[in-house]
């Protein structure tokens, strides 16, 4: 049966540790981050993805129902949600794929409960014990949703002092929906008419019995009020069974329709508060207002009197070819929000729109899972589908109120809007507000009116493009979903010396990132605003792209060319390097060899430096300056006067050798960067000064220049100007040696 399952443990890009048995694992000493594959006697595997951050908190994550990505196993729930915690080193994570699922390729839920010939829970307990004890004095949290919530409650009960956090959990498998339960029973317990009654399954299947018998752990059940099956059939009997031990807290809230769980952002906030209060000495804190309930009556007291969801119709009618629609809400929306739309358009492929949420107060730089920061709130990609109601579900922390929503539709599509509504599952703020009188910092657009005039609806609605801002040390908190696929997205990286403007292009199915640095800019055209040279080429470039604007060319004191010098003390290239490496990793270009830096002229100098700071990467540069103090006097003198107190070039080279010359920067290290240096022999300065300096460096530094390749060409018309677009694209997308360079 196993041969029919597509199993691939190598695709996670981490070190693989393989063990022939649980006994082999528990006697080993391995503790580093990686994939751990443990073979069982049943011929199946427990595949564990272990993120060891050497924290005092360990979170064990179990999967709920669902097939793995593209049908390939193993797959893990929570890796995306917890990525920000990983980047910040906030906890160790143990992601566990259920070995039971390898027994039958048709199974997508088995509750980690094993089969007739595979007593899995006892073996998995030993495996979990191994990973939990890799770090001393850990706060241990077992986490899961639905079927994963069942596993979290079950295995937490085996570890005294641990905590279970379970969303909409099943607590008694025999009470669960017949199709999932019966599929598991037929596949794994074919010879048992009632496997739930077997003594070996008493506690693994029925957690009500397990907790009624008494456990030494603590549990939180986060259950959606609208999930009536799990409230009535699983939470209620569980609460009553565990009531005498006072070790189960319940949080009942509206989180959406049916079996919808709390949003990832809410779960992150819940766990963050839980960990913080545990570290402060609270043994079993009432996180987010969770309560000790003892009976069905206690549950009803919450479900019957909690604020009901609020739905507001933002638009109903027919809006033809609408570029965008803005609705100012009469009732502020909070918490979990569902934005629904009905649209019509030609074609069958989904269309990507943008939904912006304007808040009642400035959210500063707070990261919210699944949302991108804007000047007055947050935004997200809204996927619109034909012939069905399209739904966008987001969570806005409850200290904020959403006052207005704007949906911007792609201008290259003729989309007709029929309906737009918003449901808020957060607490009702009560009073309505006149948001028309509020200054939200947004321009008005067509609002929710019945049957608007088609001609009026077609007018072009102007709006400034939103710019996401993020401090340099907060970039690791971003997720790649902050950058919509195939949609250039602005990002300002904030440092103590100002902002570094960037434009990020996330491409579909890309596995490399190309980073572009600007050369000189025309201030008469830019006016000191950010310029992203070659950004119009993004569709022709293979790979994700990061376009970097030299911060020295932006703002009231902008220079047309500054080689990254914001002041004589601050050379922005080092911070740019940190930022682009984090962002490229975010875009899945985790290895340096998957990153390419490109620039011409002054951008070439910066690209060489960025390559130097990213060992293993590659730079492709065209007519690059190698020492900016030797460039044309006009540009050099402008920078000397503005940023270097008019010091002479010789003194600048002496005092700042590494920031004035990239060859001196390379020469002072053990790094041998990969540089492809393209130079036009028909450009007098580039051939007589820069090329000679590069050749001399190679001759004098054989070790540090071993990865430098020189490609010469001759283009009398271009001079110092870079190669034509099609040639640059060919050099970046393929092997330069195979590109036919001009020789005229």
Please list the residues that pair with 37 across neighbouring strands.
Answer: 18, 47
> What pLDDT, in 10s, does the model give residues 102-135?
999 889 999 999 999 999 999 999 999 999 999 9
- CA dist 251 and 167 (Å) reads 9
Domains 2-303 and 310-457 in one fold:
no
pLDDT of residue 451: 31
Residues 6 or more apart whose CB falls under 8 angstroms from that of 525 comprise none
DSSP assigned state of 231: I
- CA dist 148 and 144 (Å) reads 4
What residue spans define the domains of the chain?
2-303, 310-457, 479-734
CA separation, residue 266 to residues 255, 263, 273, 398, 484 (Å): 10, 5, 11, 10, 22
Phi, psi for residue 84 in degrees, rounded to 5: -65, -35
Q: What is the pTM of this model?
A: 0.61
The length of the chain, given as a count of residues:
744
Classify domain 479-734 at the CATH topology level: Rossmann fold (3.40.50)
> What pLDDT, in 10s, does the model give residues 39-82?
999 899 999 999 999 999 999 999 999 766 567 899 999 999 99
Q: Is the peptide bond before 673 cis (omega within 30 degrees of 0)?
A: no
Q: What is the largest CA-CA distance in the chain?
A: 91
498 neighbors 551 (Cβ within 8 angstroms): yes
pLDDT band at 458 (very low <50, low <70, confident <90, very high): very low
- CA dist 552 and 147 (Å) reads 54
- CA dist 639 and 646 (Å) reads 8
Residues 6 or more apart whose CB falls under 8 angstroms from that of 379 comprise 354, 355, 356, 357, 371, 372, 466
Classify domain 310-457 at the CATH topology level: Jelly Rolls (2.60.120)
pLDDT of residue 449: 30
Tell me the two tokens of residue 497.
């010396």
pLDDT of residue 460: 23
**Taking residues 590-603, what's their average pLDDT?**
96
Start-end of H helices in 644-680: 649-655, 657-660, 662-667
CA separation, residue 123 to residues 113, 119, 217, 655 (Å): 11, 7, 20, 64
pLDDT of residue 388: 86
Please list the residues that pair with 315 across neighbouring strands.
Answer: 420
Residue 164 has pLDDT above 80, yes or no: yes
- 3.40.50.1820, 2.60.120.200, 1.10.1660.10, 3.40.50.720: CATH of 2-303: 3.40.50.1820
Residue 735 has pLDDT above 60, yes or no: yes
Tell me the two tokens of residue 462.
């102007």
In this structure, the dihedral spanned by the alpha carbons of residues 237, 241, 246 and 247, taken in order and rounded to 10 degrees, is: -80
DSSP 5-59: S-B-SSTT-S-EEEESSHHHHHT----SSEEEEEE-TTS-EEEEEEE----SEEE
DSSP assigned state of 67: P
Helix axes 573-586, 602-612, angle to 10 degrees: 70
314 neighbors 405 (Cβ within 8 angstroms): yes
Instruction: Output helix, strand, coil percentages for the chain, rounded to the nearest 5.
Output: 30, 25, 40
Mean pLDDT over each residue of the chain, to the nearest integer:
90
Sign of CA dihedral 128, 242, 109, 102: positive
> What pLDDT, in 10s, does the model give residues 472-503?
988 887 888 888 899 898 898 999 899 999 99
């Amino acid at each position: 049966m196993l041969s029919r399952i597509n199993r691939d443990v190598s695709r996670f890009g981490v070190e693989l540790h393989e063990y022939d048995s649980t006994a082999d694992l528990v006697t080993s000493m391995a503790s580093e981050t990686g994939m751990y594959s443990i073979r069982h006697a049943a011929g199946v595997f427990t595949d564990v993805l272990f993120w060891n951050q050497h924290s005092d908190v360990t979170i064990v994550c179990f999967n709920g129902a669902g097939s793995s990505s593209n049908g390939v196993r193993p797959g893990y729930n929570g890796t995306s949600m917890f990525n920000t915690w990983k980047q910040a080193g906030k906890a160790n994570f143990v992601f566990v794929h259920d070995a039971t699922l390898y027994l039958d390729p048709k199974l997508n839920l088995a509750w980690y409960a094993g089969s007739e010939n595979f007593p899995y829970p006892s073996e998995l307990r030993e495996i979990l014990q191994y990973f939990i004890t890799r770090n001393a004095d850990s706060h241990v949290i077992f986490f899961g949703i639905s079927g994963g919530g069942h596993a979290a409650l079950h295995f937490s009960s085996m570890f005294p002092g641990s905590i279970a956090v379970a969303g909409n959990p099943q607590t008694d498998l025999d009470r669960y929906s017949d199709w999932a339960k019966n599929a598991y029973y037929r596949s794994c317990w074919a010879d048992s008419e009632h496997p739930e009654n077997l003594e070996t399954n008493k506690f693994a299947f029925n957690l009500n019995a397990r907790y009624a018998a008494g456990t030494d752990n603590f549990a939180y059940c986060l259950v959606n009020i609208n999930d009536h099956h799990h409230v009535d059939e699983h939470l209620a009997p569980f609460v009553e069974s565990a009531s005498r031990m006072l070790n189960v807290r319940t949080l009942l809230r509206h989180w959406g329709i049916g079996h919808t769980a709390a949003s990832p952002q809410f779960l992150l906030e819940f766990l963050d508060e839980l960990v913080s209060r545990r570290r402060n000495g609270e043994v079993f804190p009432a996180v987010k207002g969770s309560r000790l309930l003892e009976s069905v009556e206690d549950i009803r007291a919450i479900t019957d009197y909690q604020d009901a969801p609020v739905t507001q119709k933002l638009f109903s009618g027919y809006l033809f070819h609408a570029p965008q629609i803005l609705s100012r809400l009469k009732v502020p929306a909070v918490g979990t929000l569902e934005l629904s739309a009905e649209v019509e358009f030609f074609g069958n492929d989904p269309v990507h729109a943008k939904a912006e949420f304007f808040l009642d107060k400035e959210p500063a730089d707070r990261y919210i899972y699944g949302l991108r920061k804007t000047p007055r709130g947050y935004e997200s990609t809204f996927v619109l589908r034909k012939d069905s109601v399209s739904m966008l579900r987001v969570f806005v922390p409850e200290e904020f109120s959403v006052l207005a929503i704007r949906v911007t539709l792609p201008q290259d599509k003729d989309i007709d809007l029929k309906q737009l509504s918003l449901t808020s599952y957060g607490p009702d703020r009560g009073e309505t507000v006149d948001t028309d009188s509020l200054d939200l910092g947004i321009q008005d657009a067509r609002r929710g009116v019945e049957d608007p005039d088609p001609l009026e609806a077609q007018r072009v609605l102007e709006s400034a493009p939103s710019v996401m801002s993020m401090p340099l040390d907060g970039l690791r908190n971003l997720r790649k979903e902050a950058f919509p696929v195939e949609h250039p997205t602005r990002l300002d990286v904030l440092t103590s010396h100002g902002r570094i403007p960037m434009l990020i292009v996330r491409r579909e199915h890309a596995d490399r990132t190309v980073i572009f640095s600007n050369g000189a800019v025309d201030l008469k055209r830019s006016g000191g605003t950010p310029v992203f040279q070659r950004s119009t080429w993004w569709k022709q470039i293979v790979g994700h792209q990061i376009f970097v604007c030299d911060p020295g060319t932006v703002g009231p004191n902008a220079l047309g060319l500054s080689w990254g010098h914001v002041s004589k003390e601050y050379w922005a290239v080092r911070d740019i390097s940190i930022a682009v490496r984090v962002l490229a990793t975010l875009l899945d270009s985790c290895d340096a060899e998957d990153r390419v830096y490109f620039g011409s002229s002054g951008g070439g100098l910066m690209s060489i430096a960025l390559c130097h700071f990213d060992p293993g990467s590659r730079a492709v540069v065209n007519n690059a300056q190698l020492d900016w103090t030797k460039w044309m006097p006009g540009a050099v003198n402008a920078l000397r006067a503005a940023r270097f107190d008019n010091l002479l070039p010789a003194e600048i080279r002496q005092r700042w050798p590494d920031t004035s010359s990239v060859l001196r920067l390379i020469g002072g290290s053990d790094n041998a960067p990969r540089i492809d240096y393209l130079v036009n022999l028909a450009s007098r300065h580039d051939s007589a000064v820069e090329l000679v300096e590069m050749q001399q460096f190679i001759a004098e530094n054989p070790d540090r220049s071993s990865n430098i390749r020189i490609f010469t060409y001759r283009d009398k018309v271009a001079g110092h100007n870079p190669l034509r677009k099609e040639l640059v694209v060919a050099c970046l997308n393929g092997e330069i040696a195979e590109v036919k360079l001009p020789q005229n």
